[in-house]
Amino acid sequence: MTVKWSAGGQNTDWWNRDNWDDTFGGQWINGVYVSHYVPQDINYAFVQLVGTEENPVTVDYDASKSQEASNQVGNLEIGDNATLNVFGVQQSGQYAFNVNYLTIDQGGELDIDTTSQVFLGTNPVVYGLLKISNASVLIDSHSVVGNGTVILDNASLGSTSSYMALDCNLTTVLENGSTLYINNASAGKKIEVDDTKNYIVLQDYNQTVTTEISGYNDNTVIRIEAGSQTPISGSWQSNGDGTYTIFIAFDDYGNGITFTDVVLDKDPVFTIGEFKITQNSDGSWDVIDPTTTDGTAVTFSATDEAITCYLAGSMVRTLNGDIAVENIQIGEKIVAFDWKNNRDIIRPVVWVGKGHVKVNPALPDDEAGWPVRVLKNAIADGVPCKDMLITSEHCLFFQDKFVPVRMLVNGVSVFYDKSFPVYDYYHVETEPHSVITVDGMLTESYLDTGNRSSFRQNGKIAILRGKTHSWEQDSAAPLDVERSFVEPLFQRIKARESITSACCVQKERIMESDESDLHLVTEKGACIRPIRREGQYYRFMLPPGIKAVRLVSRTNRPCDVIGPFVDDRRPMGVAVAEVHLLVLKHAYKITAHLQATKPEGWYADMGEQGVAWTNGDAMLPLGDYLTERKMGLLSIRLHAAGPYQIRPQPETGSKARII
């Protein structure tokens, strides 16, 4: 029962029976003898797709067209100059594609792009190219043989119960956040990773992986599944030939996981040091970004632990006069302010740290890494005594409280200095945490709230530090980010702009718009624009089969549109009130966004009855009202939207980095 593609390159539809020939003449199917039938018409067919250089073959397999996709293809051979594209969603819950034995010859290609599960049988043979996008692929034998290439594009291969044995001549490529479960002794010839967060997953026993890991970068994650072993450290060692060995230790006796052939990304953003190990909620462990104990780089984003520090040239008041922060040594005696007793006291420096930032202009200014420049005299006469350069989360001391400087930025006398795309930063620690004077301004010493790995220890003396601290329990003064306290400070500083006018920079002009650009995105990624807008009402025509849409819009942050003295940096999209779905003259209320437990992308109730805010990309389930033949009209009433800041888009899209 061999079924061979006979349409050449003229027709591409797998489900068109005229495109297939039975090489043995025909088969009886449902009481009729036929010579043209699709492979799913019979059980375990042997299927051949072969093209020529002059007449290459491309076959499109749309899983949504299948009525009998539970019938397994017995043996599929994709020959030279032949490409099979598998796409679409299997509505019945069966496999989108199901084959018992698969062979991809050299010059052949199988391209799978579906969110449904795919079954590739036992020991698939890949001499050509197997590309898997957005899918979860199951392989009965947990193995792939051949000397071709497997590309995972936002996909996973294997599982915690199915670690893959890959042929020693096979190359696997991980792209766009993919996951590969590997068997240590059989991980293939090479594993290539791109610069997105890809996962290489192993079990927790002693093992050595000799497979080349190519393109390793600070987004590459080695995951160790939960078991009896606990990883305690990770380290690098140069092999002397441009490659490196990674060792993840389970104990102090040499037990652990070793990768012997690691090739770094061509343009790495880190140098070699120790790793950061974190435990996930399921008990597994992630070995990720090298820490900065020796000047290596880690990536930070808006959700990471705040980095508070000084730039070079900041003058710290000590018992021996003002000393540049980069020259402070452990043991130096710093002048601290005991505000409770209104007196100066002396405290020794117990730690000094240094790091390096590469700014990411794609993020908002307060998260991008730009330093803040506080102009001379901006706070008061002689305060600061010279221009002060600090990071945005660094705190200044006012009225017995600490306030992050980002909340005082007015764009004129206190502003983000964008002449520093990269810079070194420094900090000094006293025991306990202290109010100190830098550049004539009362500010803070270092408080380790869990971000010490963002520094490397500066100076000739190294001291091991203890547990991390918290602002609530260990700070020298309370942290206050309440608008009622910060806004008067902001306005007082802003009123002094004329005093610093000779040094002030021109405030950056930012355009604003009340247009939300509200549109829908379907589960398949299609964009739907409103067909009509009347005041606060937006109406969208929905095609059949839609069960959920995403409400996508511009976003603003309260700290941007109200003022930095508002400590709310959440992206706010639109405030949605009533939603109705009209189907064949029947109107249905859609209320998922108003429930106590909300779908992804909605904020919890904010005190406005019958209204919910999105974060700019919110899921809205619609139920089963739109069947295959029913269209619908979705009506959305917005309670509030905007204003939105319109900023020019930077060219770079990389994250901010601490190096």
Cβ-in-10-Å burial (0-12, 13-18, 19+) of 598 comes to middle
Q: How confident is the model at residue 651 (pLDDT cuts 50, 70, 90)?
A: very low
The whole model's pTM is what? Answer: 0.54
The DSSP bridge pattern shows strands 2-5 and 46-49 to be: parallel
pLDDT at site 29 = 65
Of residues 147 and 74, the one with the higher pLDDT is 147
Is the confidence at residue 212, as pLDDT, over 80?
A: yes
Q: How confident is the model at residue 508 (pLDDT cuts 50, 70, 90)?
A: low
Cβ-in-10-Å burial (0-12, 13-18, 19+) of 465 comes to middle
DSSP-derived 3-state class of residue 483:
helix
Of residues 282 and 439, the one with the higher pLDDT is 439
Is the confidence at residue 190, as pLDDT, over 50?
A: yes
Spell out where 220-303 has E strands: 221-224, 233-238, 244-249, 256-264, 275-279, 285-290, 298-299
Q: How confident is the model at residue 299 (pLDDT cuts 50, 70, 90)?
A: very low
CATH class of this structure's domain 310-508+653-658: mainly beta
Is the confidence at residue 505, as pLDDT, over 70?
A: no
pLDDT at site 457 = 47
Of residues 648 and 539, the one with the higher pLDDT is 539
pLDDT of 554-582, one tens digit each?
A: 999 999 999 999 999 999 999 999 999 99
Give me the mean pLDDT over the 27-46 stretch: 70
Which structure tokens are listed for 568? 């709310």
Return the domain boundaries, the chain: 1-141, 310-508+653-658, 515-642
Of residues 591 and 649, the one with the higher pLDDT is 591
Give me the mean pLDDT over the 590-600 stretch: 94
pLDDT at site 202 = 94
Highest mean pLDDT among 177-186, 215-224, 402-411: 402-411
DSSP-derived 3-state class of residue 393:
coil
H or E stretch covering 111:
strand 108-113
* CB-CB contact of 109 with 127 (8 Å): no
pLDDT of 596-632, one tens digit each?
A: 999 999 998 777 789 999 999 999 999 999 987 789 9
H or E stretch covering 488:
helix 483-494
Burial 154-178 (b: 16+ CB within 10 A, else e): bbbbbeeeebbbbbeebbbbbbebb
Is the confidence at residue 456, as pLDDT, over 60?
A: no
C-alpha to C-alpha distance for 156 and 162, rounded to whole angstroms: 11
Contacts of 302 (CB under 8 A, 6+ apart): 363, 364, 367, 569
Q: How confident is the model at residue 292 (pLDDT cuts 50, 70, 90)?
A: very low
Contacts of 321 (CB under 8 A, 6+ apart): none
Burial 60-69 (b: 16+ CB within 10 A, else e): bbbbeebeeb
Give me the numbers of helices (H) and strands (E) for the chain, helices first please. Answer: 4, 58
* CB-CB contact of 192 with 211 (8 Å): no
Which structure tokens are listed for 653? 């899209």
* CB-CB contact of 375 with 385 (8 Å): no
Of residues 171 and 607, the one with the higher pLDDT is 171
Of residues 115 and 521, the one with the higher pLDDT is 521
C-alpha to C-alpha distance for 531 and 289, rounded to whole angstroms: 47
Is the confidence at residue 635, as pLDDT, over 50?
A: yes
Give the whole-number percent of the chain exceeding pLDDT 90: 50
